[in-house]
Amino acid sequence: MPTVTEPGSQPKHDRLPPSEADPAVAGLTVGLGGRSGRFARLSSSWWTPLRIALAVCTLTFGLGVLQKAPCMDAGWDRQSWRPFKALCYSDVGFLYQERGFAEGNRPFLDTGNYPVLEYPVLTGAFMEVAAQLTWLVTGDPKTDLTAEQKRDTAGVFFVVNIALLFLCALITVGLTVATARGVASRPGAARGQPLDALYVAAAPVLAVTSTINWDLFAVALTAGAMFAWSRGKPIWFGVLIGLGTAAKFYPFLLLGPLLIVCLRGRKLWPFVQATVAAVVAWALVNAPIYLLAKNEWLSFWTFNDARESDYGSIWYVLKLAKHEVADVNQLNIVIFAGLCLSIAILGLMAPRPPRFAQLAFLVVAAFLLINKVYSPQYVLWLLPLVALARPRLRDWLIWQACECFYWMLVWMHLAQFLQPGNPDVPDRIYWLSVILRMAGTLWLMLVVARDILLPEKDPVRQGDLVDDPSDGVASKAPPRELAPA
């Protein structure tokens, strides 16, 4: 029988130490004095969970910046293979030179002898802010610059983006701490684990992929949405989802899991509020660019529609193996719709209402697995969701190992290290890295699905009287006692 706290009583602690909550962590503490004892002072240290997580995030991000040092030293030159050989490639420095920023042009509104920016509006705005800060340091970009001077300016732009993306990383970690804390302080909630945010802050992929692109901006907005929902603010949840979708498409996917959660909780009004707020926020951000430069605004959609199977996807592996699928777009839609239907059935038929983070993780992970491009930095989308859905060290380590293996192999693949001397030889080691990466994500999906079907296995909900400690809307209802196991 699970541990049950009497209604109206307070739990002994707002949180459990990780050595008590996670068997894998407990095993690692054997050489460090073992688990904390009953006389341990768990709440008197200056090092609160938030400060610990932010400090670890700073260290992790700093290591990632050092890892990009060879590319910063060499300059952002497309003619050089060093970004791939040194495993330090980033879009940031190159797109500054190749999308008009180096000439002082604005995204979408200005055009020239360069491709239109293929990113959503809010990411374009993020890049514009970074460019403006860069020009404060480097001076007027409208003057004629040599290619070497543009690369030097791109280096400053990269450093500015490091600072902005580091801020996004800190915000993501801080919000994950607050969301993981859930409603542990209310009667009936036996577990709030803010140190679960270390699964974001200490992730190796946070170090090596954070500055490849601007995905952390959308991740921070999505983390804000999860926090808003945990505090019972569906309108703010919707606003942040709308803004996140204006920066990257994937936050929009969270509205599907929200519908399932609200159907199980018989609280459809919060879903309506969140959806309307998301649509309004997205429309307000996009409307000015759509009205002033419709064709340029459409570039993100047309680019992704016309894009062929690309790096990281199973479709790209099939293409390399001479088994290319004719119409990936339609097949993606059909497969993803089937996966979403399966997740919805799982959520609706589960013995107890699933947690929002569990369903959100399953949907976003399913989208990534069947997408026609799975860039290395897309793993950042899953980091806060994994910390909230399945905060267990063993599963996290398996997943991170698979992701890091792929991150290393994709650059070797691009540098043609895996097929030396004979470009006609299939790059099967890279194929293996893609499949292994997908297997790591699929493993997490399976254990999360098992947690939904067997709630007693859920490391977050175990022993609680509420179905989802991080659901601020559902938590307003009186807590329900668990049935005997």
Contact criterion met (CB below 8 Å) for 131 and 157: yes
Residue 484 is predicted with a pLDDT of: 41
User: What's the pLDDT tens digit per position in 268-301?
Assistant: 999 999 999 999 999 999 999 999 999 999 999 9
pLDDT given for residue 27 in this prediction: 52
pLDDT class of 251 with cuts at 50, 70, 90: very high
Three-class DSSP category at 191: coil
Average pLDDT for residues 103-118, to the nearest whole number? 92
Could you tell me the end-to-end alpha-carbon distance of the chain, in angstroms, rounded to an integer? 5
Q: Are 5 and 481 in contact (CB under 8 A)?
A: no
Q: How far apart are CA 203 and CA 32, in angstroms?
A: 22
pLDDT of 253 above 60: yes
Assign residue 405 a region (left: φ > 0; alpha: ψ between -120 and 50; beta: otherwise).
Answer: alpha
pTM of the complete model? 0.89
pLDDT digits (tens, 9 = 90+) for 174-226: 999 999 876 444 444 434 578 899 999 999 999 999 999 999 999 999 999 99
Quick check: 247 and 217 in contact, CB under 8 A? yes
Cβ-Cβ contacts under 8 Å for 183 (sequence gap 6 or more): 189, 192, 230, 466, 469, 470, 472, 475
For residue 42, the model assigns a pLDDT of: 54
Nearest to residue 260, comparing CAs of 177, 176, 353? 353
Contacts of 124 (CB under 8 A, 6+ apart): 107, 108, 117, 289
How many CB atoms neighbour CB 165 within 10 A? 26
pLDDT confidence of residue 242:
98
Phi, psi of 422 (to 5 degrees): -150, 90
Residue 128's SS3 state is helix
Average pLDDT along the chain: 87
* Mean pLDDT, range 353-360, rounded to an integer: 96
Helix (H) or strand (E) holding 96: helix 91-98
Lowest mean pLDDT among 16-30, 201-215, 392-406, 459-473: 16-30
Q: Which helix (H) or strand (E) holds 133?
A: helix 121-138
Tell me: pLDDT of 25 over 70: no
Output the pLDDT for position 22.
59
Structure tokens at 157: 């732009």
Name which of 47-56, 383-392, 410-419 the model is least confident about.
410-419
Q: How confident is the model over 18-43, as a mean pLDDT?
A: 54
Contact 164, 216 (CB under 8 A): no
Give 429's pLDDT tier (boundaries 50, 70, 90): very high
Summarised one tens digit per residue, pLDDT across range 40-65 is 555 567 889 999 999 999 999 999 99
The number of beta carbons lying within 10 Å of the beta carbon of residue 163 is 10
Instruction: Look up residue 324 and give its two tokens.
Output: 């290319």
Which amino acid appears at position 311 of this protein? Y
Sorting pLDDT into bands at 50, 70 and 90, what band is 169?
very high
Q: What pLDDT, in 10s, does the model give residues 326-340? A: 889 999 999 999 999
